[in-house]
Amino acid sequence: MRAASAQARAAAVGDQRPGRRPPGGGRGMRRRRGTAARLAWLLVLAAFAAFFLVPVVWLLLAPTKTDSGLVHSNPLAFGSLHDLGTTWHDLVTFEDGALLTWLRNSAVYAFGALAITLATAIPAGYGLALTEFRGRKLLLAVTLVVMIMPASALVLPLFLEVNAAHLVGSAWSVILPMSFFPFGVYLAYIYFSSHIPRDLLAAARLDGCSEWGVFWHVAVPLARPVVALVAFFSFAANWNNFFLPFVMLPSSGQYPVQVGLENLLSSTPSFNPAAGAGLDITRPELALAMLIAIAPVLVMFLFSQRALVSGMLAGATKE
């Protein structure tokens, strides 16, 4: 059973399993019913594909138009490069390049928290999976509880805590809470306990490796897939986090791009006639800002789909 599932997993990762033809394919009635079913199948999948795809396509095209072009032209047609240039110019000059500041802030917060997450979660997963100490099971159980604990319920008490430490408004007020990432510890724990043979570690110890040496020279190189997985989830969660920086950071110069986008929304005359008069931020600018804001996560998405899924499933099949 285990071997079979491991095999299936290996096949699933590469997606190279030969597609099995469903048996049957009779004649007459059965064939006609088969064709109808196939058509219905395609229609359902295509309808959902349209649902998922159309907003993305619209978003990619919106910055190539003017605001009135957005209303009057075909929603799914390309505008012009000239309008795209204007949109770009309006956006980067908004509040003297606020967008670039927000992006830089996002990068600092997301990568800062990512670094601390990796430095703590990977050893912790290793410790939980492959060492023995008192309280290990308790720590594991607590990790599972906080993992499913809704994080944003803690934002307000966190604010008070950070406030008491006089850190509100500093980058640490966002980086430190974000670097606490129990999901990453759980992923690392699952990976180490199902993929690293204890005998291998014992052999390294016999060869004179210290405990840290075993971890650093044997376990970590073998754990590259899970390090990548934790890094991706942590980065995406940090980059997209809104509530925490929204509460912790008081001034626009410190906003990450997600909070900045919300700020832009309230500067758009289309959504806020009161505040928008005379501003160059209209819907195409907003669309472009969104594209820029999601670009880092999108790029990581595109390159890591397969690795992500196989990594997730490596955890799932621990029986």
Partner 1 sequence: MTGRTACRARGTLRARHGYAFVAGYLVLLLAFGILPAGYAIFLALTNSAGQLVGFGNVTAVAGDFRFGSAFAHIGVYLAIWLVALVAGVVGLALLLHGRMRRTTAVMRFVYYMPGALAGVAGVLVWLFMLDPTVSPVGWLLNWLGYTSFAQVIVPGHLPVVLAVIAFWTGAGGWIVIMHGALNNIPGDLLEAARIDGAGPWQVARRIQIPMLRKWIAYMVILAFATGSQLFVEPQLVGEASLGAVSNSWSPNQLAYLYAFQANDFHSAAALSVDLLVLGLACAAIIVARSGLFDLE
Per CB under 8 A, contacts with partner 1 among 177-216 are 177, 179-180, 182, 185, 199, 202-203, 205-206, 211-212, 215
Q: By rule CB under 8 A, what string of x and - marks binding of each residue 56-95 to partner 1?
A: xxxx--x-------xx---xx-------------------
d(CA 64, CA 36) in angstroms, rounded, equals 41
Q: 18: which DSSP letter?
A: P
Token pair for residue 7?
A: 């095999």
Cβ closest to partner 1, residue 27 vs residue 134: 134
Q: Read out DSSP for 151-207?
A: GGGGHHHHHHHHHHTT-TTSTHHHHHHHH--HHHHHHHHHHHHHHS-HHHHHHHHHT
If we measure between CA atoms, which residue out of 35, 99, 149, 125 comes closest to residue 285? 99
Per CB under 8 A, contacts with partner 1 among 116-145 are: 116, 119-121, 123-124, 126-128, 131-134, 136-137, 139-145
d(CA 110, CA 106) in angstroms, rounded, equals 6
If we measure between CA atoms, which residue out of 263, 253, 259 comes closest to residue 170? 253
Instruction: Name the segment binding partner 1 (CB under 8 A); options: 28-36, 99-107, 223-231, 243-251.
Output: 243-251
Per CB under 8 A, contacts with partner 1 among 9-38 are: 9, 11-12, 15, 17, 19-20, 22-23
Per CB under 8 A, contacts with partner 1 among 92-111 are: none
Instruction: Name the segment binding partner 1 (CB under 8 A); options: 6-14, 27-35, 87-95, 102-110.
Output: 6-14
Q: Read out DSSP for 19-56?
A: PPPPS---STHHHHHHHHHHHHHHHHHHHHHHHHHHHH
Cβ closest to partner 1, residue 108 vs residue 139: 139
Least distance in angstroms from the C-beta of 131 to partner 1: 3
Cβ closest to partner 1, residue 92 vs residue 307: 307
Residues 237, 238, 241, 246, Cα dihedral to 10°:
170
Per CB under 8 A, contacts with partner 1 among 267-306 are: 271-273, 283, 286-287, 290, 293-294, 297-298, 301, 305
Least distance in angstroms from the C-beta of 66 to partner 1: 12
27, 28, 29, 51: which one binds partner 1 (CB under 8 A): 51
